[in-house]
């Protein structure tokens, strides 16, 4: 082990570009994400940084006494116990902004695909069904004239709203507090917004407050022409209630990029012709994932070269380190 290089733990599988960007500057050690840290004690005591995609086992923090920074790949960082990190003086970083446009674009594409059933139309064509005298059925829904409510108007939610403006739909939102910098209609509660709109786009993070927040009551309020789009977290939707709402015609359609127990998708959801399903690909382009990987690496480079993190999460406002 090179004593001159800071030791960085690669926790489980991460984007290979992160490793490429860190390889020259840092001594990298790898460990699978099990309950116990699979590093020798002499190595664990030298680890000063870590990178992770998804969950970082909380118990590992106690086993890494010199750990200063955890770089999390993704805008969501619920897989890292930030309270424990803050208590131990560990800075946690994420990758905000660099994926905003990609996720917002995907949300709009998923919305259009859901209401117009474009994937079904393509499958119908590819199946050789377009022959003289045979046309694909008219889509029962349209985006025209819809009232869209956005659940979560953070960075990505705002980009979704801006894109929706071009479709001439009414736009509203629900967050914990009203924003003074947007022209959209504010609803103080998720239920009141669902009662007022016919299209609900979910882009909230995973928190105790958002757990199954989109439940049977909210879906019922959305109504028989209602459409649910989720590009946030599967955690936020009661999938049993959603399946029931689709079966009974309580809502008209749904488009989902995220699920409660990924990668497991309820078989019942796959049976609906009015549901569009994606395998959590909202930010999954080469360009965007490279930008996310670069930001993970840049945070570690800045921390050890300049004593500061570029994008620390608000729960770990650790003072800049002294070189």
Catalytic residue among 25, 155, 179, 280: 280
> Is 262 designated active site?
yes
3-state SS track over the chain:
CCCCCCEEEEECCCCHHHHHHHCCCCEEEEECCCCCCCCCHHHHCCEEEEEECCCCCHHHHHHCCCCCEEEECCCCCCCCCHHHHHHCCCEEECCCCCCHHHHHHHHHHHHHHHHHCHHHHHHHHHCCCCCCCCCCCCCCCCCCCCEEEEECCCHHHHHHHHHHHCCCCEEEEECCCCCCCCCCEECCCHHHHHHHCCEEEECCCCCHHHCCCECHHHHHHHCCCCEEEECCCHHHECHHHHHHHHHCCCCCEEEECCCCECCECCHHHHCCCCEEECCCCCCCCHHHHHHHHHHHHHHHHHHHHHCCCCCECCCCCCCCCCC
Catalytic residue among 262, 271, 306, 315: 262
Catalytic residue among 146, 174, 233, 289: 233
User: Active-site residue numbers?
Assistant: 233, 262, 280
């Amino acid at each position: 082990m090179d004593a001159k290089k800071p030791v960085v733990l690669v926790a489980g599988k991460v984007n290979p570009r992160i490793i490429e960007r860190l390889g020259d500057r840092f001594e990298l050690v790898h460990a699978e994400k099990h309950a116990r840290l699979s590093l020798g004690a002499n190595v664990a005591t030298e680890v000063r940084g870590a990178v992770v995609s998804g969950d970082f086992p909380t118990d590992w923090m106690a086993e890494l006494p010199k750990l200063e920074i955890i770089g999390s790949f993704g805008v969501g960082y619920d897989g890292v116990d930030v309270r424990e990190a803050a208590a131990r003086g560990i800075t946690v970083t994420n990758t905000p902004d660099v994926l905003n446009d990609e996720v917002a674009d995907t949300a709009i594409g998923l919305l259009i695909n859901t209401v117009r059933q474009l994937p079904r139309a393509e499958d119908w064509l590819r199946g050789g069904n377009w022959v003289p005298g045979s046309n694909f059925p008219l889509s029962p829904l349209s985006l025209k004239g819809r009232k869209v409510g956005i659940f979560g108007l953070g960075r990505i939610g705002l980009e979704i709203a801006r894109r929706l403006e071009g479709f001439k739909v009414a736009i509203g939102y629900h967050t914990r507090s009203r924003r003074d910098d947007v022209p959209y209609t504010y609803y103080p509660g998720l239920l009141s917004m669902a009662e007022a709109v016919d299209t609900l786009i979910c882009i909230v993070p995973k928190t105790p407050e958002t757990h199954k927040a989109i439940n049977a009551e909210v879906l019922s309020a959305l109504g028989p022409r209602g459409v649910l789009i989720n590009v946030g977290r599967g955690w936020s939707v009661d999938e049993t209630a959603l399946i029931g709402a689709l079966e009974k015609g309580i809502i008209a359609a749904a488009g989902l990029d995220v699920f409660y127990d990924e990668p497991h998708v309820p078989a019942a959801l796959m049976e609906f012709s009015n549901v569009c399903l994606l395998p959590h690909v909202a930010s999954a382009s080469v360009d965007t994932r490279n930008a996310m990987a670069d930001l993970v690496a840049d945070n570690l480079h800045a921390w050890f070269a300049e004593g500061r993190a570029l994008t620390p999460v608000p729960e770990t406002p650790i003072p800049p380190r002294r070189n």
